[in-house]
């Protein structure tokens, strides 16, 4: 209903992405050989030099061992079953006519975080089929956890932060077009042509209406898991559209894993109970894999990734100045009986650790995501290998999420419906009803969160005019869309003054 789906725009976008990737390439124009793991490893340290991540200092492993674990995680392919050949980008003549600037393509259209220091891999979360020298393989790509779990803020890449810009719909549609008969210009019978045809079949057969988010950089990951888990025992048939919930969410940061491990309840609604949030493995099911592959390859590797990397990640420090005196005042308020934030959100040590109470509390925020976990979803889960790794149970309320690194977790609430801490901690009536998604590449240091617009002239237009102009545009967050409500979590009556709010925000910067 809200989606603007102009074939033209999509065709152009895919062309531009393709041209962009082609231009980025340092590989020859046809059948580029696969990149070897040794080559990737040789530049890994320097590729990482501007990537921000914090590691638990009490991890007893050596720096070299941690690096190696991180390398495995960042280039993880889970032995993917679906690949996009590089030659598809290089050989497409049409795309070369629509040459655009690389940063706008991968960065703005698809919204991946560019890996600027890496000469071989254009963006975080893109993983090549890294082979051994001389194995005759050509270069192909798949995507992994980091397409969603990396973000750029003020030009800096933060590993583990939830994406603020990635558009799954754009990427899916673009790749579908690119791999279709009409556009595929690869030698018939070649291995790359076969890989592209296979990718096209997978992209088309796993496309369910409920797995397109209504807004850029919001994800339907949970609904997609329902669809995928249902398909396996039903001969590849999808559940009926009305049986799948709609509850678009933002991507939470990976450093919440450490905070949540002692409680073992996962995701926005805490509906997954188990040692690790393994619903992530259904990402591979979307690539058409069976339950056997899940059991033999995907789940063991994801568990290894959690053990060796994810659980050790801690939140990045606030990169700008903090007023310590004001933050100390904020801390008192946060922990006080009257304001009572810590009762739900826990106590913080200022070094990225929290004693998280595991509270799941009804605070009146949008319900849609809670309803995604339906009886049908639970039944599909219970008939899958995931049932051996945890339990799925409907939840009545959302997690009072850990606030570690909360300065970087904007926009706020599970659906990313509130752009700044200032708006979240103020009166509900003052929260913006529309704001621009891609403005979230920058931090608003005063209100802490994202600016509402990239173009200052939009600020003068006023909400009613913006809603008329951009209310249907998925690049804009519109709080009137289903699942996108921005009400609830209303603590203004306890916070009471702007001075208190400022102190709380200052304290939140230090978590
Ligand atoms: C398509 C985007 C996407 C990909 C790819 C993805 N995730 Fe996520 N991840 C999400 C979203 C969205 C959520 C929140 C889901 C919800 O609560 O409804 C999430 C939640 C999480 C959480 C937080 C759980 C919590 O309770 O705080 C962890 C940890 C996580 N994912 C790990 C991974 C790992 C590991 C991978 C790779 C195997 C992965 N994710 C792949 C989008 C993604
Ligand atoms: C009754 C329990 C409760 C109290 C008290 C409470 N919160 Fe929350 N808080 C929640 C819940 C539940 C959520 C998640 C709601 C959602 O995502 O829909 C949340 C979300 C948040 C978020 C958004 C986090 C993110 O990453 O999006 C922030 C920030 C926050 N709370 C700060 C505070 C502060 C500051 C206070 C004290 C003024 C406070 N909360 C008091 C339960 C509570």
172-189 per-position pLDDT tens digit = 887 888 788 766 667 777
C-alpha–C-alpha distance, residues 442 and 166, integer Å: 15
Q: List phi, psi (to 5°) of 381.
A: -60, -45
d(C-alpha 44, C-alpha 199), whole Å: 29
Question: Residue ranges of the domains in the chain?
Answer: 324-360+403-508
Q: Which residue carries 């889960």 as its tokens?
A: 381
Low-confidence ranges of the chain (pLDDT < 50): 1-29, 94, 96-100
Distance of CA 12 to the CA centre of its chain: 24
**Closest-CA residue to 449 (of 471, 425, 433, 481):** 425
Q: Which of 157, 148, 149 is nearest to 117 (CA)?
A: 157
Output the pLDDT for position 31.
Answer: 61
> Given the structure tokens 């003068």, which residue do they identify?
460
Dist. CA 186–CA 30, nearest whole Å: 10
Residue 387: CB atoms within 10 Å: 15
**Alpha carbon distance 315, 420 (integer Å):** 18
Q: How far is the CA of 268 from the centre of ligand 2 (A)?
A: 12
**Ligand number with the minimum distance to the CA of 149:** 1
Distance CA 303, CA 318 (A): 30
- Contact between 43 and 119 under an 8 Å Cβ cutoff? The reply is yes
Tokens of 481: 């869309």
CA of 366 to the centre of ligand 2 (A): 13
Taking the model in full, what pTM does it have? 0.92
Interatomic CA distance for residues 251 and 312, integer angstroms: 19
- CA pair distance 171, 17, nearest whole angstrom: 9
**So what's the pLDDT on residue 209?**
82
Mutate to test the pocket of ligand 2, among 489, 494, 498, 506 (most ligand atoms within 8 A of CB): 489
What pLDDT sits at residue 103?
59
CB under 8 Å to 468, separation ≥6 — which residues?
Answer: none
Q: What is the dihedral of CA 177, 178, 180, 181, to 10 degrees?
A: 130
> Do the Cβ atoms of 57 and 161 come closer than 8 Å?
no
Pocket of ligand 1 (CB under 6 A): 144-145, 147-149, 168, 219, 221-222, 249, 251-252, 254, 256-257, 260, 266-268, 277, 280, 283, 302, 305, 310, 369
Q: How far is CA 295 from CA 1, 79, 143, 167, 288, in A?
A: 38, 13, 20, 29, 14
CA-nearest residue, atom 12 of ligand 2: 400
Nearest CA among 244, 249, 245 for reference residue 219: 249
Which ligand is closest in space to the CA of residue 168? 1
d(CA 9, CA 71): 36
Whether the CA torsion 315, 319, 324, 329 is positive or negative: it is: negative
Residues with CB under 6 A from ligand 2: 339-341, 343-345, 361, 363, 365, 398, 400-401, 403, 406, 409, 412-414, 421, 424-425, 489, 491, 495, 504
C-alpha distances (whole Å) from 421 to each of 149, 207, 511 are 21, 35, 13
Query: Measured in Å, how far apart are the chain's first and last C-alpha atoms?
Result: 40
Burial (CB count within 10 angstroms: exposed 0-12, middle 13-18, buried 19+), residue 419: buried
Rounded alpha-carbon distances, angstroms, from residue 350 to 15, 159, 331, 445, 510: 47, 20, 10, 19, 6
How far apart are alpha carbons 374 and 371 in whole angstroms?
Answer: 6
- Distance of alpha carbon 282 from the chain centroid: 14
- As a dihedral over the C-alpha atoms of residue 430, residue 431, residue 436, residue 442, rounded to 10 degrees, the angle is 90
Ligand approaching nearest to the C-alpha of 274: 1
């Amino acid at each position: 209903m809200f989606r603007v789906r102009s074939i033209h725009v999509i065709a152009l976008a895919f062309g531009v992405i393709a041209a962009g990737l082609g231009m980025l390439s340092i590989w020859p124009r046809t059948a580029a050989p696969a990149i070897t793991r040794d080559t990737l490893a040789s530049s890994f340290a320097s590729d990482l030099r501007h990537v921000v991540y914090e590691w638990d200092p009490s991890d007893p492993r050596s720096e070299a061992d941690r690096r190696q674990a991180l390398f495995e995680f960042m280039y993880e392919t889970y032995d993917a079953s679906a690949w996009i050949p590089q030659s598809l980008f290089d050989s497409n003549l049409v795309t070369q006519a629509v040459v655009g600037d690389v940063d706008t393509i991968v960065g703005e259209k698809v919204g991946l975080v560019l890996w600027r220091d890496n000469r071989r891999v254009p963006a975080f979360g893109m993983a090549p089929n890294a082979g051994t020298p001389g194995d005759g393989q050509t270069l192909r790509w798949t995507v992994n956890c980091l397409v969603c779990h990396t973000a750029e803020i003020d030009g800096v890449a933060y590993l583990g932060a939830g994406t603020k810009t990635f558009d799954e719909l754009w990427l899916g549609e673009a790749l579908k077009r690119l791999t279709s008969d009409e556009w595929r210009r690869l030698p018939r019978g070649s291995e790359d042509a076969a890989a592209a045809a296979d990718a096209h079949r997978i992209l088309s057969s796993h496309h369910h209406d409920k797995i397109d988010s209504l807004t850029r950089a919001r994800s339907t990951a949970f609904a997609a898991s329902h669809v995928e888990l249902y398909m396996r025992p039903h001969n590849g048939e999808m559940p009926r559209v009305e049986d799948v919930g709609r509850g678009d969410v933002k991507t939470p940061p990976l450093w919440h894993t450490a905070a949540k491990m002692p409680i073992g309840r996962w995701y926005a609604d805490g509906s997954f109970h188990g040692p690790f949030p393994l619903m992530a493995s259904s990402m591979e099911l979307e690539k058409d894999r069976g339950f056997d592959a899940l059991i033999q390859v995907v789940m063991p590797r994801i568990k290894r990734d959690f053990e060796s990397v994810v659980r050790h990640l801690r939140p990045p420090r606030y990169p700008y100045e903090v007023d310590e005196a004001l933050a100390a005042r904020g801390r008192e308020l946060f922990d006080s009986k009257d304001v009572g934030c810590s009762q739900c959100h826990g106590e913080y040590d200022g070094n990225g650790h929290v004693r998280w109470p595991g509270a799941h509390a009804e605070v009146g925020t949008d319900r849609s995501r809670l309803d995604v976990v339906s009886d049908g979803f639970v039944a599909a889960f219970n008939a899958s290998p995931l049932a051996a790794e945890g339990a799925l149970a409907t939840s009545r309320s959302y997690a009072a999420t850990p606030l570690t690194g909360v300065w970087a977790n904007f926009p706020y609430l599970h659906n990313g419906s509130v752009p700044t801490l200032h708006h979240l901690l103020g009166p509900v009536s003052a929260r913006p009803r529309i704001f621009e998604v891609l403005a979230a590449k920058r931090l608003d240091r005063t209100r802490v969160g994202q600016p509402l617009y990239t173009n200052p002239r939009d600020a003068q237009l006023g909400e009613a005019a913006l809603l008329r102009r951009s209310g249907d545009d998925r690049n804009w967050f519109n709080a009137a869309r289903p699942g996108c409500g921005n009400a609830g979590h209303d603590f203004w009556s306890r916070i009471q003054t702007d001075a208190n709010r400022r102190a709380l925000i200052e304290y939140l910067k230090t978590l």
